[in-house]
Amino acid sequence: MDDPIFTYALRIGDDALVLGQRVSEWCGTAPTLEVDLSLANVALDLIGQATLFLGLAGEIEGAGRDADRLAFFRDVDAFQNALMVEQPNGDFARTIARQFLFSTYQEGFYGALSHSAEPRLAAIAAKAVKEVRYHAALAGDWIVRLGDGTDESRQRMIEALDWHWRFVDELFAMDAGERALLEKSIAVDRAALRPAFDAAVGAILAAGDLPAPRYPQRPVMGGRRGHHSEHLGHLLATLQHIPRSYPDARW
């Protein structure tokens, strides 16, 4: 569909859906019961956000696809999520680094989107920003604890931040469709969010006595255009297995 608001809502929903699925993989396997419950709640918040944004995308499309149809019955190249959210969990440090970076970005993004001229986008963002503010604080606390912990926890966190940093630039990139929506005060100026993001990340790294991540020579992008890593296909195979196997099931 060519409607830029449909694409915009789809991208935001895909980010939340894919990250929610990734975080849910820790359910039952996290280091402690408290962390297990915390990550499960983060995953539920993200799936809730995905439901609202994908539901709005389906409403705008007007083709009979609701949030469930968009989540469970699209193929890999139809997803437009950022590459960061589809990366494997790795160890606990890598999961926390991804959550901190993405939630910090989301907090600024949803905060700005809550003032969108599109009232449906603004209403969802106003609710979601409260959730991701907690997600960012939770992950930030763990960044500090691991950075200021043992030699091993510190090294793992350094490596985790380095691993994910190559995907950061994509979060702030905009294409022609988004820029057109920005001119109508519908979309968020992603580039304008970068200074606050860098400042928030820098403050947490300083609190954990961690060095700035090593910046790659070339950022990794493509998710917004449907160009994904091999990891997304495996994630969707799990996410979509039951609905695709039993498409008429109701529960």
d(CA 182, CA 201): 26
Q: Helix 33-61 to helix 119-147 angle, to the nearest 10 degrees?
A: 160
Residue 217 has pLDDT above 70, yes or no: no
In this structure, what token pair is assigned to residue 239? 């996410």
Closest CA to 216 of 84, 122, 118, 86: 84
Closest CA to 135 of 11, 19, 18: 19
Quote the pTM value. Answer: 0.95
Task: For residues 155-170, give the mean pLDDT.
Answer: 96
Q: pLDDT band for position 251 (50/70/90)?
A: low
Tens of pLDDT, residue by residue over 43-64, are 999 999 999 999 999 999 999 9
Kind and range of the H or E run holding 109:
helix 92-113
Q: Helix 4-24 to helix 92-113 angle, to the nearest 10 degrees?
A: 150
Closest CA to 45 of 108, 126, 128, 138: 128
Tens of pLDDT, residue by residue over 107-116, are 999 999 999 9
What CATH architecture is 4-211+224-245? Up-down Bundle (1.20)
Domain boundaries, the chain: 4-211+224-245
Q: pLDDT band for position 29 (50/70/90)?
A: confident
Tens of pLDDT, residue by residue over 74-91, are 999 999 999 999 999 999
d(CA 92, CA 9): 30
Q: pLDDT band for position 248 (50/70/90)?
A: confident
